[in-house]
Amino acid sequence: MAVLPQIRHWVLWPAGLAAGLIIVGLTLSAVRALTAADLGIDQTLSLNHTAFLTAIALTLNALFSPLGGSFLLAVVCLFLAVARRSPVNAAAVGAVSLVGWLSSEVLKAVVGRHRPDASLLAHPLVTERGFDSFPSGHTCLAVSLSIALYFLARGTRWQRLTMIGGGLLSISVAASRIYLGAHYPSDVAASFVASLAAILFFSGLWNRYAASLLSRLGLIHRPDLCRESV
């Protein structure tokens, strides 16, 4: 992971996606009819909770929370750095995951969409208030970590399994946020785009600056030979 997969227009595309997300988020916040339609899905799920699904959703809620997510990333990075003796991969996985995760905080601050009203749900399982609903931080972390691990597994026999597993994990976390009543469906959908846009931009920065630094430190050799544009 000394050099990350990079698209050709790595500034333009992420900027366009970010601008689009901001426009969508502000529109959703301003148009009550759109939020009402979103809330209808939360209300339907709130009426159909089961013990098994609730246990899974609450587990994912804890695992991908700020505290749980930080611990999870620390464990993954320590494993790569110590057990696998690959500090470059550890740094890259950690950086990619964090960038995609923190993109949610930027958009939350810009958009300021209110959380679903728990009083309008039949059985709210978590109570989260405030104007930080768009997008979902939990989902952004799951998507970002999945992308980072896919980057790590690319070109190995684990590539396909990592892609499928990461996709299932990301979808499961996204669904759990709606199931718990913590987010609207459009919030979690936006999380996939937000994480991807941030990581696409970061990959370009990493290849331009980090790879050269790692080469000077003697951790990799000739990063320019393995740069890839997709």
Tell me the domain boundaries of the chain: 12-216
Active site residue 138: yes
Nearest 10 degrees: CA dihedral of 119, 125, 131, 133? -120
Predicted confidence (pLDDT) per residue in 150-203, tens digit:
999 999 999 999 999 999 999 999 999 999 999 999 999 999 999 999 999 999
Active site residue 183: yes
Tokens 């988020």 belong to residue: 25
Second CATH level (architecture) for the domain 12-216? Up-down Bundle (1.20)
Phi, psi of 204 (to 5 degrees): -65, -45
Predicted confidence (pLDDT) per residue in 19-38, tens digit:
999 999 999 999 999 999 99
Please name which of 4, 25, 61 lies closest in space to residue 194, comparing C-alpha atoms.
25
Catalytic residue among 9, 114, 123, 183: 183
C-alpha radius of gyration, the chain, whole number: 19
Tokens 């009203």 belong to residue: 117
Q: What is the pLDDT of residue 113?
A: 97
Angstrom distance (rounded) from CA 12 to CA 82? 37
